[in-house]
Amino acid sequence: MEFTSEKGSFLAVDNVSFDLEKGTTLSIVGESGSGKSVTSLAIMGLLASNAKLSGEIWFNSNSLGWVNLLSLPPKQMRSIRGGEIAMVFQEPMTSLNPVMTCGAQVMEAIRLHRPELSKEEARQLVFRKFRDVHLDSRDEGDSDEAAMAQLEKIYHSFPHQLSGGQKQRVMIAMALACDPELIIADEPTTALDVSTQRAILDIFQELTCRDGISVLFISHDLGVVAEMSDRVMVMYQGKQRELADVLTIFDNPKDPYTRGLFSCRPRVDLSFLDTSVAYLKRLPTISDFIEVDARGNVKAKKVDNIGIGETIFSMIDIEEESSQSRQPEPSMPVLKVEGLSKVFWMKKKNKRRKERFFAVDNVSFEVFRGETVGLVGESGSGKSTLSRLILRLLEADSGRVEFGVRAGDGSIQYHDIFALSERSMRSLRRYIQIVFQDPFASLNPRMSIGEILTEPMRLFKLYGSSKEQKERAFKLLEDVGLDPRHVFHRYPHEFSGGQRQRICIARALATDPQFIIFDESVSALDVSVQAEVLNLINELKEQYHFSSIFISHDLAVIRFIADRVMVMKDGKIIEIGDSRQIFENPSHPYTQALLDAIPKGDIIAIRKKLEERAAIRSSRACITS
């Protein structure tokens, strides 16, 4: 697959071959730009006009038999696309039409491919598909009428009125609308919390094992891939590096790139380490396993032929402590939150009076110097609202947030941020920064990287002259692993996602902050880039001595990066403690439920999932016969 432009041609996919059996799942993994998504778009016939394809894509159509999708006339391809081959995209909010109700959008797909159905028959089919993806979820004791009322509500809701998990279920229901033989799922669980992710993965398992639908699953989450897949294909720079069954590829990967990719992911379970307490200082990266020459050829570095888990810990630093947990040195807290609450008034349907909704409910905690506190919880638990309150981007209804500014002599002066004037708060913002989830959306596309980095220095009158500010910007770029000579005068769109996130971190450090909030700052990055950014944050924390709150739905990331962990549910902090204690001995049932929902991705979990799928397929075969 080759793309042509004014600048020349680019080979995006090079001689890739695979097959997908009925009722099985093949996962494609690889870094951003490896060719995963364009491979799926080629199958759907959705490539741009500047794409040149060679090879064949054979599909066993119910109506046409075996056909080469690349040679089909447009009319026949349209009947297959959406009818026999469907796709679930990564971001449901941008994939769903914001001005159509969810029910109308699913019905549109049904009426397009099944015009023989009446409007009422199509409507009932929409409800059936909603049930198939468990959008009629009910509490114990709820009646059938209550479940139907829930379906009616979703049918008439617009996308913005639903949660992320509900929107993704609507997308899956739309894909199922015409009973396809093949579903292509492109990062369907990215940015979902672990509980919602688990529900979506269970739906896909039902589709393959119970309904016999084939799934081509694209993901950078290797834990998800391990538990979802029957087979796995690894891609790098448009080439197929390895293709094998899931157990083989996770237990004994042959390709050095595969070994490196699988070793980059953080682990929740560190119990196999032979230390009483062990904390990782650095994650392995792809560069630990391979070298890439100027022509893009991959050469393996010498790594002992041992298991992936052992490889990880033979190559990186481990901090061993006999009995003490990884805590910052005793000091005065940098941040003190006391009794913080935020109430939103919401109008319920068919009710005259508005009802109170506690987004944050009586939250109290402290963050100490040099400490990273992880903040986890499901979507809607109050994590983002809490971060906005700490930054005073929202006004609290009750409670206090005190931030301690450390003076040159080491003394700390506390400021109640809600008692400060707007002018005083602006001055304080120099010491409190945030790194957002989407690095492209948070960088001004009309400003060069140099302008982005020097702007906060000018606003706060830091580092004197323009020359000194430029020198400081150069130093920041070097600190985040970028060459300032090649970066300073360029613009955000010229960089990869990982490079843009490094620039965002440099921007946050430009004012010498004492406290940084990382809000899902690595969730949009593939696993290899994520490892590099997490290592960078740890290095910068030691260099700049800032404190931080790290918000993430990825509990493995939290296990690696956080000293302490706070768990939020329904606006409350239900558990807070040392990272090891939270992950190995949680005291609250909700915390345990979150941990149980994590795709483990180890060999034992893979074998268990394979046995589950085999049992479901066996029962389906018995019923069919």
Q: What is the pLDDT of residue 49?
A: 87
Q: Is the pLDDT assigned to residue 273 strictly greater than 80?
A: no
What class is the 1-82+182-264+601-625 domain? alpha beta
CA gap 376, 196 in Å, rounded: 14
If one compares 349 and 278, the residue with the highest pLDDT of the two is 349
409 or 88: which leads in pLDDT: 88
pLDDT classification of 321: cutoffs 50, 70, 90: very low
Distance (Å, whole) CA 270 – CA 531: 17
Q: Give residue 360's pLDDT.
A: 95
Write out the two tokens for 10: 């680019």
Whether the CB-CB separation of 259 and 253 falls below 8 Å is answered with yes
What is residue 244's predicted lDDT score, i.e. its pLDDT? Answer: 96
Burial label, 111 (beta-carbon count in 10 A; 0-12, 13-18, 19+): middle
Residue 28 has pLDDT above 90, yes or no: yes
Q: Which of 83-87, 119-123, 408-412, 583-587 has the lowest mean pLDDT?
A: 408-412
pLDDT(347) > 70: no
pLDDT tens, 373-406? 999 998 888 998 999 999 999 999 999 999 999 8
User: Which pLDDT value is given to residue 194?
Assistant: 87
How confident is the model at residue 330, as a pLDDT? Answer: 55
Which pLDDT belongs to residue 248? 94
pLDDT winner (highest mean) among 45-49, 75-79, 344-348, 471-475: 471-475
pLDDT at 63 (0 to 100): 87
CATH number for the 333-597 domain, one of 3.30.70.140, 3.40.50.300, 3.60.10.10, 3.40.50.720? 3.40.50.300
Angle between helices 144-155 and 102-113 (to 10 degrees): 80
Average of per-residue pLDDT across 468-484 = 95
Q: Which among 389, 383, 384 has a CA at the least distance from the CA of 402?
A: 389
Query: Per this entry, what is the length of the chain?
Result: 625
Q: Is the pLDDT assigned to residue 328 strictly greater than 60?
A: no
| Same-fold call for 1-82+182-264+601-625 versus 333-597 | yes
- Asked whether 86 and 184 are in contact (CB, 8 A), the reply is yes
The whole-number pLDDT of residue 621 equals: 62
What pLDDT shows up at residue 249?
Answer: 94
Q: Which two tokens stand for residue 80?
A: 């297959």
Given a cut of 90, whether residue 303 has pLDDT beyond it is no
Which residue, 459, 451, 457, 525, is CA-closest to 490?
451
Question: Look-up: residue for tokens 């260099």?
Answer: 543
Return all residues near 474 (Cβ < 8 A) that are at least 6 apart: 484, 488
pLDDT of amino acid 44: 94
Give 264's pLDDT tier (boundaries 50, 70, 90): confident
Contact 160, 105 (CB under 8 A): no
98-102, 271-275, 534-538, 584-588: the lowest-pLDDT one: 271-275
How far, in Å, CA of 525 to CA of 536, rounded? 14
Q: What is the mean pLDDT of residues 16-26?
A: 95
β-strands 25-29, 231-236 pairing: parallel
Q: What's the CA gap between 381 and 574, in Å, rounded? A: 11
Domain ranges of the chain: 1-82+182-264+601-625, 95-179, 265-320, 333-597
pLDDT at 315: 45
Q: Which residues contact 587 (CB under 8 A, 6 or more apart)?
A: 575, 577
Distance, in Å, from the CA atom of 301 to the CA atom of 284, rounded to the nearest integer, reads: 13
- What pLDDT does 311 receive? 45
Residue of 220, 228, 269 lying closest to 246 (CA atoms): 228
pLDDT, tens digit, for every residue of 425-453?
A: 999 999 999 998 888 788 999 999 999 99
Mean pLDDT value across residues 574-591: 94
pLDDT band at 137 (very low <50, low <70, confident <90, very high): low
Share of the chain above pLDDT 70, in %: 90
What is the residue-averaged pLDDT of the chain?
87
Phi, psi of 435 (to 5 degrees): -115, 120
* pLDDT at residue 470, as a whole number: 96
Q: What per-residue confidence (pLDDT) applies to 322?
A: 37
Q: What percent of the chain clears pLDDT 90, i.e. is strictly above it?
A: 58
Residue 278's pLDDT is 45
Minimum mean pLDDT range among 451-455, 530-534, 566-570: 530-534
**Looking at residue 329, what DSSP letter applies?**
P
Output the pLDDT for position 312. 47
Q: Is the pLDDT of residue 209 over 70?
A: yes
The residue written with tokens 């688990």 in the block is 198
> If we measure between CA atoms, which residue out of 184, 238, 214 comes closest to residue 46?
184
Asked whether the predicted pLDDT for residue 540 surpasses 70, the reply is yes
This prediction's pTM = 0.83
Residue 353 pLDDT: 74
Checking if the pLDDT of 323 tops 70, the result is no
